[in-house]
Each structure stands twice: as C-alpha cells, then as structure tokens.
Amino acid sequence: MDEMNKKPPTYVTQPLLPPLEEFIPYLEQIWDNKWLTNNGPFHQQFEQALCEHLGVNHISLFANGTLALVTALQALRITGEVITTPYSFVATAHSLLWNGIKPIFVDIDPDTLNLDPARIEAAITPQTTAIMPVHCYGHPCDVEHIQQIADNYGLKVIYDAAHAFGVEHQDGSVLRHGDLSILSFHATKVFNTFEGGAIVCQDAKTKRHIDHLKNFGFVDEVTVVASGINGKMSEINAAFGMLQLKGIKAAIQKRQAIDARYRRGLANLKGIHCLPDTGEKTPNYAYFPILVQPDHPLSRDEVYDKLHQHGIHARRYFYPLISDFPMYRGMPSAAHANLPVARKIAEQVICLPIFPDLADEQIDYIIDLLAH
C-alpha cells in the first residue's frame, strides 16, 4: 500500500471521462454544422434526451448551475426573503444575493442533513416569498411537508438539486417537485458536461420564459422582453453530455459498489458514523460523507490532515457553513444559536473519495487510514 503515496493524489470526486476517441465524432459534427452555441442541434437533442432519462417534462440547459439558480429566481420574480439552508455550497445563497434577495437560514435535520421542515414555519415573515431547499448529497428533502407549508403560505419552492441527478423518490423523479429544480453538471458531479447546469420546470410556458432569460431576454433578433443574462450552454458541452448519458447507468452502479465497500469497512470503526439510508427509490451515490464523532481517537481536522498527508484529498463538505462567511454572518438567522445541528455536522463531516474509477485497493487504503 505504501506505493499509493507515489501515485497522483486521490480527490473526493473526479470527473467521469469517456475515451477521447469516442468524443472526436461529436466534435467533427459540430465543426461540420458550424453551429457552436445558441440552441444548436446538440443542445436540442440533449434537452430531449435528458427529459427522457430523468422522467421530467421540460429542461432548459445552462452554462453552469449557478447561472441556472440566478435565472430561476428571476423567472419566478422572487423578491424579499427566501428561507434556505446554511449547509450547502455557497452558490445556493449567493444566487439570492445576486437577485437582491435576503437569505433566511434555517437549521437542518440531523439524519438527512436537509432543511428541517419543522423549523420552516417559524422563519416565515410577511417578506417571505419562497423556500429554497437543497437535496444535500443527493438525498431527497421532505418534499411533501415542504410543499404543504408552501401551499399554506402561498410561497414558491425552488430546489437546489445540484447533487440529485437521476434520483427517484417514492413517486418518481425528485426533480418533479417544487416550482423549479436546478441541476449542476460541473465536472465533479455524478453526471457532468465539463461545466453546465439546467432548470427543470413543469410547463412549456415557463420553459419559454426561462429560455428568453438565459439569452439576454431575446425573443427574436429585434425583441427583448426581459433583462436576461448570457447563460447558454455551448454545443461542445451539450455534445459531451450526450456522450456521457451513454455511460451514466454503469457509472452509478460502480458508485453503488464503492458506497457498499466503504460501509462494510467502516461499520465497526469507533467514532466514524456513516449517514443512514434515507429512502431513495433510486439513489445516485453522489457523495460519501462520514461524521467524525467525539469518541474517535482523532478530531475531524486531524483525520482530514492525515488523509491529505497520505494523498487522499477528501473535503469537508460543508465547512464552514454558508452563514459563517462575511456577507452572511451578520444576519440574525445566521446566529450560532439558530443553527445548532448544522454547526455540529459542519464540524464533524468529511466526504471521502467516490468516483467510478476508484479502485478497491484505494478504498481499503482509505479505510485502513481511518482505522489506525
């Protein structure tokens, strides 16, 4: 096992990359089409293929997930305050600030690490217009409870589903819940297009509006109907997505096997807690978080440093909390006393490497490092 230290570092996620020779025909087709962006043939094919694969009605592709989040809020004309989680990647809250919206942080559930519905109602004020939960690590939120609250108070629901590609929960795709769901196709995601993202919506009228917004508000070459942005996905990214779809089922099966091997190896380690199964009908094994608890011989940060010293570049997703960053920490909802569960989890969490090409001996090496 010592030889592994001489190999390139192992990161928490690594992109799924098909053989280069398989991508060449796609590039040649783009070259022949002479259509590089702005709703080209691959863009159109990719949107349709994603709808079929994910079991949703309408998808609008974006250059990245953050632009999709920003545009989703604009599409629904969200203003005032939005209830969201402090336990996420910072883009979740940043998209609110970019739209002049005030994030209101609410604590998370200790088992799912998602926004705790029991705490949402107490945070609603006359200025609240929407709820923005995150399907953290790809585990579905309590979508029924959240929707009930939204209906009772006349609120919109926008899901940050960056981790939830392909996840099904009870009645089908988790992406069908809420008013809009936002995906990320960043290189480190389960499914990637190098860079990319998408908005999932329920009807054609909303999709048309979103499509206008992501192209500067243009309806045609002389008509602009909104102050949109340049959020379009290029033909190269769309073509890469078409190729990636061919291998996504096999990739998730490999991730499932890695998840199972981790769980077997870590089951009896003192002070190492794996998150429980949260009931997905079809999981995607997007991340493998562990909690380093007080009875472990080392602290979380000591475990983190030990892994890095041995070439295992795990990540403390999500630490610090979004609410701890300078642009948020002065808000009343960011107070430490308001977020005890999120704070506890952020101080214990480490996400271990999980990607299709992670070898059994690498997994066992990581387990051995945690055990000794």
Sequence-distant (6+) residues with CB within 8 A of 142 are 109, 112, 114, 117
Decide which of 3.40.50.300, 3.40.50.10860, 3.90.650.10, 3.90.1150.10 is the CATH code for 249-371.
3.90.1150.10
Helix (H, G, I), strand (E, B) or coil at 183: strand
Dump strand ranges (E) for 13-101: 58-62, 81-84
Residue type, 370: L
Does residue 121 contact residue 106 with C-beta atoms inside 8 Å?
no
Residue with tokens 């002389």: 222
CATH assignment, 20-243? 3.40.640.10
Instruction: Quote the CA–CA distance of 291 and 272 in Å, as a whole number.
Output: 6
Confidence grade of residue 8 (pLDDT, cut at 50, 70, 90): low
Q: pLDDT at position 4, please?
A: 45
pLDDT tens column, 43-93: 999 999 999 999 999 999 999 999 999 999 999 999 999 999 999 999 999
Q: Count CB atoms within 10 A of the CB of residue 359.
A: 11
Q: pLDDT at position 5, please?
A: 46
The model's pTM is 0.95
Buried b / exposed e across 31-46, counting CB within 10 Å, b at 16+? eeeeeebebbebbeeb
Sequence-distant (6+) residues with CB within 8 A of 104 are 81, 82, 83, 84, 123, 125, 128, 331, 333
pLDDT tens column, 195-250: 999 999 999 999 999 999 999 999 999 999 999 999 999 999 999 999 999 999 99
- The residue ranges of every structural domain in the chain are 20-243, 249-371
Q: State the chain's mean pLDDT as an integer.
A: 94
pLDDT tens column, 290-312: 999 999 999 999 999 999 999 99
Q: Looking at the predicted structure, is the pLDDT value of residue 348 above 50? A: yes
The reply to whether domains 20-243 and 249-371 share a CATH topology is: no
Q: Looking at the predicted structure, is the pLDDT value of residue 36 above 90? A: no
Average pLDDT on 137-158 reads 97
Pairwise pLDDT comparison (183 vs 17), residue with the higher score: 183
